[in-house]
Structure 1
Amino acid sequence: MDTAVEELQFLTQSENRVLALTALSADGPLGRDELEARLDTSHRTVIRVVNTFSDRGYLTETPSGLRLTPFGTRLAECIDTFVSEAETALEYRPLLRHAPPRFEALPLDALDGAEQVVASESDPFAVLDRLLAARADATRIREIAPAVEQKSLDQLARRVEDGEDLDVEIVVPESASDAAASRPEYREQHRTTLTADGVDIYVHPGPIRFAAGVVGDTAAAAVGRNDRPHALALSDAPEMHAWATDLFEEYRAAATPKPDI
Structure 2
Amino acid sequence: MSLPFEDIQSPLEEIEFLARSTNRIRVLDTLREEPMERHDIEDETGVSRATLARILDDFGERGWVTRDGRQYETTPVGDYVAREFTGLLKRFEPIPDLNEVAQWFPTEGFDFDLGDLAGAEIVRPAKSDALAPTTHITRRLRTANRVRVLSYSHLSDVMEVCWRGTVEGALELESVVDRGVLERIETDPRMIDHAQEMVESGQAEFFWHEGTIPVTVFLIDDVVLVCLSGDEGAPHAVIETTDETVRSWAESIIDTYRREGKPLDPELFTE
For normalisation by structure 2, the TM-score amounts to 0.70
8 Å contact from structure 2 (residues 66, 72) kept in 1? yes
In 2, Cα distance between the equivalents of 1:108 and 1:11?
Answer: 21
- Aligned pairs (5 A) from 1:210-229: 210-214=216-220, 217-227=221-231, 228-229=234-235
User: C-alpha separation between the residues in 1 aligned to 2:263 and 2:21?
Assistant: 58
- CA distance 1:147–1:3, change in 2 (3 Å): same
Give 3-state SS (helix, strand or coil) of 1:76's partner. Answer: helix
Instruction: Name the SS for the 1:22 alignment partner.
Output: helix
Partner of 1:181: 186
Contact kept in structure 2, 1:146 and 1:207, CA below 8 Å = yes
2:251 maps to which residue?
A: 245
Name the stretch that deviates more: 8-17 or 164-173: 164-173
Query: What aligned pairs does 1:62-101 form with structure 2 within 5 A after superposition?
Result: 62-84=68-90, 86-87=92-93, 89=94, 93=98, 97=102, 99-100=105-106
- After superposition, residues 93-132 of structure 1 pair within 5 angstroms as 93=98, 97=102, 99-100=105-106, 102-103=109-110, 105=112, 117-132=123-138
Deviations 1:42-98 (A, max 9, x none): 62x4454334323322123443344322111211122333445555x3697589755
Q: Is the 8 A contact 1:59 1:68 kept in 2?
A: yes
Structure 1: unaligned runs, 5 residues or longer = none
Asked if the contact 1:99–1:210 (Cα under 8 Å) also holds between the matched residues in 2, the reply is no
Amino acid at match of 2:60: S
RMSD value over aligned CA atoms?
3.9
Q: Verify: 1:19 aligned to 2:19, yes or no.
A: no
Which sections of structure 2, spanning at least 5 residues, go unmatched? 1-6
Report SS of the residue matched to 1:67: strand
Aligned length: 253
Is this contact kept in 2: 1:111–1:240, CA < 8 A? no
Distance 1:96 1:77, change over 3 A: farther
Give the partner amino acid of 2:127.
Answer: E
Cα distance in structure 2, aligned partners of 1:159 and 1:34: 52
2:4 corresponds to: none
Shift of 1:155: 4.0
1:146 aligned onto 2:152: yes
Task: Quote the Cα distance in structure 2 between the aligned partners of 1:240 and 1:95.
Answer: 20
CA distance in 2, matches of 1:169, 1:92: 30
Contact 2:92 2:115 in 1 (8 A): no
Deviation of 1:119 (Å): 3.1
TM-score with structure 1 setting the length: 0.72
Identity of aligned residues (%): 19
